[in-house]
Structure formats: C-alpha cells, structure tokens
Chains A and B, each alone.
Chain A
Amino acid sequence: MTLELDRPAALAPGRPIPSGSALAPRGRRLSRGGVSGSAGGDDTAGSAHSAGRLRRSLAVTLPLLRRPGFVIAGGYLLGVGVAAVAPSLIAPLDPTATVPEAKLSPPAIGSWFGTDELGRDLFSRVIHGSTLSIEAALLAVGIAIVAGLVFGVLSGFIGGIVDAVVMRIVDVMLAIPALLLALAIITAIGFGTLPVAVAVGIGIVPGFARTTRAEVLRVKSLPYIEAARVGGASWLRILFTHVLPNSWGPVAVLAVLDVGAAIIAAASLSFLGFGAAPPAAEWGTLIADGRNFLITAPWVSLIPGLFVVLVVLSLNHVARTLDEVRR
C-alpha cells in the first residue's frame, strides 16, 4: 500500500520542476508569521498563488508534450503503471492457466508474446508480473529516498562530526559492489519480493545520501536561508520550509533514474532465483525460466527481457528530459 504513495513522488513529471529553481524558492514569504503553503495566508493571496503555480507547471508541461520521445516513453510507462495496478484490464487471459496442446507456440495475434513450456500465455504472465516487479522497484527506491534523505539531510545540515561519520559509512558502502551487498542481505533475510526490494533499496541509499547532502549544502549557503535565520526562524523550520523544498529537484530526477536501476537490479536478483516463489512470476523469473528453451523457443526468454529493457529505457529517457527541462 505504501507503494501507491510512492508512485506520484517518484514519477510525477511536472511537479518538482517549478520549485527546483534556486531563483524561485517556494517558501520565500519570509516575513509572514503563518505556515507557508496552502494552509497559510488569506484567501485571495492563496488562490493567486495556486493560479500562478498552475500556470508555471503548465508552462513546464506543455513543451514536454511536444517532444515525441517523451510522449512515447511516458505513454509506455503509463501503460506499465496500469498493468501493475490492474493487470486484468490489459491482459484478460489467466496467467496461470495451462494449455498443454499450445505449449511453446510463437507470438501471434491475440497471444502477443507466445506461450511458455506449460502453454501459459506469456503476455499475461509479463503483465501480471509487472505488479510484483514494479512494487519491488518502487519499494526499493522508496527505502532509498527515505534513508537517503535522512542521512543526506543530517549530514549536510548538521555538518561536523555527523557529516564525517555518515560520509565514511557511505564510502564503505560504495566499496562493496551493490550486487554483492544485495546478495549478503538476501542471504541473511531470505528470498522473496520483499527481501529483494530491501536489498536493492539499501544498495542505492549511498547515492541518494550523497546527492541530498550536496543539494542541502548548496541551498544552505544561499542568501534566503541567512535571511530566514536573521528573521528569527528556527533551524527546523528553515529545514522544512526552505531547505527541503528547494533541494529535492535533483533528488527527484535521481529517483526516476533509480527506478530504472532498481528494476534492473530486482530483475537480476529474481533471475538468479532469489525472487518470488513460483507460480508467481516477476520479470526476472520469467526471463530465467525461458532460458531452458532458448534453442527451440527463444521468445519465451527474450520477449519478457525486451519488455523490461523498454521500461528502463523509457524511465531513463523521462529522467533525462526532466533533467534538461529543469536546467
């Protein structure tokens, strides 16, 4: 369920962009006593503010829609998102129904990806497999964002000895290759979608911690922080109303990129046999299962793989476009 909460944060294309610019800090109404954001201020100021924000986000979104690559990638990801939430909408066939006489049949109209060794419809299996795979990837990135934000903010905001300790821990984690760290974690906590997600998530925490720290350090030295401090705001208030809203742009781009990396990592781990137990099938498991039929029925393994490749390519394209627009 937490995954539903993560999705907009990680994938929403328009929102983080307008506030990401250092020139237009979101919490800039420094002299006001009230809480900045929708709760504070009188009615007219509030609606003018939200109208301006709407116009700004439209100004960012419209040029994006004129980029065919972005639209195709975004549309594909939207489809995969729907597949993850409601797989039966896209693939009505039962992913576990076996049809022995139709085993290992090649892709055809109606059976888009062909069938596997038990005659199960591969398209249904891939679509139904997206639920687990997307869940794992988003959970992993969710863990990384939360832990990375906590470590990065502690490190960048407090500085001193905390900074030194956290950054040394990050250095050590980077010395162990992410895949091997994930293997160690899985050895300790067991197999399944959740352990895989946790293992992948912990592996990408260092990257988030570093990026967040760098952003917090950058924002911390900007004049409006000093102004807020002079104006009497407490450090906690500065952190939540000024530093965090203005430092999470690059973190958001990294999050979208890392959803792609997490999908690859989770697929790799389930390919190695550490994922969900059969008959539930994640993308990596499907690819691994099809391996035995590579000579006679290459599509059983290669088409699910291609599906995953397209998801990751789309995510990377979206992240890169967002990054370009942000600048």
Chain B
Amino acid sequence: MSRGLPRYIAGRLGQAVLVLWAAYSVAFAVLYLLPGDPLAISLAASGVQADSLSPAQLATARHNLGLDGSPFQQYLTTGWKFLHGDFGSSLASGQPVAGLLAERLPHTLALAGIAVVLSLVGGGLIAYLAAYIQWAPARALLRRLPSLGYSVPSFWIGLLLIQLFAFTLGWLPATGNTGPHNLILPAITLSVASSAVYAQVLIRGFDDVRDEPYIATARAKGLSRGQAQLRHGLRNASLPLITLIPLQIGNTVSASVLVETVFARFGVGRLAQDSVLRQDIPVVLAIVVLSAAAFVVVNLVVDLIYPALDPRIRLAPRLT
C-alpha cells in the first residue's frame, strides 16, 4: 500500500503530461492541417490580399509568421516555444499572446471559480432537498429540475437574468466588469449547467445509499433523517460526483466564452470569441491548450486526492 502510492502518483503525473501533449497535437492538427490556409487567413486578418503579393513577399511573410518549414517542423518549434511560455503573437493585433492571456485570465478565473463553487453548492442543495423532502409534488419537481437545467442554453439563461434583474428590477448591472456586483449574474448563468449535472448524480447517489445499514445505524443512534443524510449519506453519495468535477470545470471554463459574450465582460472567453471571428490562429491555439492544461491539472488533483477520500482505492491491489 505505501509502496504503491508513489507509483500511483508517478503514473498519474505521466498520464497528465501525455494527455496534455496529445491535446496540443490535436489542437495543432485541427488548426494547421485542415483545409484553411493559415498564411492567407493571417494576411487577410492584417488587411492584405494574398493574391496581390509576389512569391518573394509571400515567402517573407511566411517566414515572419513562422509558417515556413514542414508542418511537422512548425509543430515541433511551436510546441518547444509553448514549453517555455512563449505562445507567439496575435495575428490581428501583433501583441504577444501570453500578455493578452495574462491580462484577461484573472477576470475569467474569478468568474469560473465562483461559478464552480455556486454549481457545487446549488447542485448539492437541490439533491439534498430532493432526497429529504417527502411531499410528493415538491419531490417530483426537484427531481425534474436537473433535466431542465441542461436543456436550457446558458446564453439564454443569461439574457433572461439580464432582462429580469438588470432591466425590470434594476438590482444588478447588466454588463461590464467594474466590481464584484458585476460577477453575480454571469456566475449564476455559468453555474446552471454544472449544478444540474451535480444534482442529478447526487440524487442518484442519495437514492443508492438511503437503505445502507450505516444510515440505519446513524438513525438508531438518534440522528434525525436530515442529519443522517448530511453526515453519513452525503459523503458516500458524493463519491461518483468527484470524478465528474474535472469534466464539469472544463465545461464551465469553455462556457465562459458564451457568458462573457452575453455579459460583455473582459476575459479569456471573450478573447476566444474575438479571435475565432478574426481567425487569429495562435490565440485560439493558446486558449485551447491552456484550457486542456486546466482540465488536466484539475483531473490530476482529483486523482491524487481520491485515494484519501475513498480508502477502497488505496487498498485495491492494482493501482492503475
């Protein structure tokens, strides 16, 4: 057991690095090998028609943009630069991509962080109530809520919230990012989809543990139904949830593209939307790789703390 743990950690670390490298490869392949010509796109982005240039000028432009050499060479040099934190520069503005990202990342991280916490709390609350409440209509309603949550596009929820809380009630600002009150509506919007997923998994989890002997024991010791569900039920019911969290965080981060557009916020998501509209390949590549890295890191953290949460993993003979 104690011999297995370092091996488990090393294995997970190696896997994380591999997945990240593969994600970079997939993103690079999509952006540089699909039919579109990056040279023509980047020239068009800076307002130059590719046909109007002489072959010599084209070759210079190609060299300046780092597009000379075989695709495989480009793949290697771009990857090498990524390892050193050099994400190239934007085709549209000429600014270094790393700077653009660093400027916007705190805003998006704050938004996504609050949304992740909100979705866990919201999803947990809905599931807890759905399992606790015994009045049939309320119970049925709460159990239907998750499927409603992920049937509704997040941008539409955002528009609805703006209409209701900003324009009709006037409680909160509709757009911008001047202060913490600007975060409330976007964070709620961003959290709906994930909280629906969490709620659904947790409801199933509560159903599964309801008849377990340890719940009966807790009740026999004098705990109320709610207490038993919170102290003994929740910990066991939430195990399947934990492996879902990385995927949901990935979705939350990518949904910030939509939410930041709806709420006209300054952030990485908005940058992604802008860059796709301008076909700014280096920026899109950096954002895709960055979010894959975020997913990989969160996944790694969850993998590493999972044995601490579920001792059965530590005792299992094979740790793969």
Report A's interface with B, CB cutoff 8 A: 168, 171-181, 183-190, 260, 264, 267-268, 271-274, 287, 291, 294-295, 298, 301-302, 305-306, 308-309, 312-313, 316-317, 320
Which residues of B in the span 1-36 have a Cβ within 8 Å of any Cβ on A?
Answer: 19-20, 22-23, 26-27, 30-32, 34-36
Bound-state CA distance A287–B148 (Å) is 19
- Docked-complex contact A184 and B247, CB < 8 angstroms: no
Q: Is B197 an interface residue when CB atoms closer than 8 A count as contact?
A: no
Q: Is B291 an interface residue (CB 8 A)?
A: yes
Q: Which residues of B contact A306 (CB under 8 A)?
A: 156
A302 touches B160 (CB 8 A): yes
**B residues within 8 Å of A by Cβ?**
19-20, 22-23, 26-27, 30-32, 34-36, 147-148, 151-156, 159-160, 162-163, 167, 174, 247, 250-251, 253-255, 257-258, 261-262, 272-273, 275-277, 279-281, 284-285, 287-288, 291-292, 295-296, 299
The reply to whether A175 and B275 form a contact with Cβ atoms under 8 Å apart is no
In whole Å, how far is A210's beta carbon from the nearest beta carbon of chain B? 13
- In the bound complex, residues from chain A placing their C-beta under 8 Å from that of B26 are 172-173, 176, 181
Q: How far is the CA of A260 from the CA of B36 in the complex (A)?
A: 29
- A316–B146 CA distance with the chains assembled, in angstroms: 11
Known: A172-B26, A176-B27. A316 touches B258 (CB 8 A): no
Asked if B258 and A187 sit within 8 Å, CB to CB, the answer is no
Most chain B Cβ neighbours within 10 Å, of A174, A179, A264, A305: A179
CB neighbours (8 Å) of A301 from chain B are 159
**Given A184-B30, A305-B156, A309-B156, A316 and B288 contact (CB-CB distance below 8 Å):** no
Contacts of B255 in A (CB 8 A): 179
When A168-B22, A176-B26, A185-B34 are in contact, do A316 and B254 touch as well, CB less than 8 Å? no
Please, could you name 19 A-B residue pairs with CB atoms under 8 Å apart, sorted by A? A172-B26, A174-B247, A175-B23, A175-B299, A177-B254, A178-B254, A179-B254, A184-B31, A187-B36, A187-B284, A188-B32, A189-B34, A268-B258, A294-B159, A294-B167, A298-B167, A302-B163, A309-B152, A312-B153
Contact A186 B22 (CB under 8 A): no
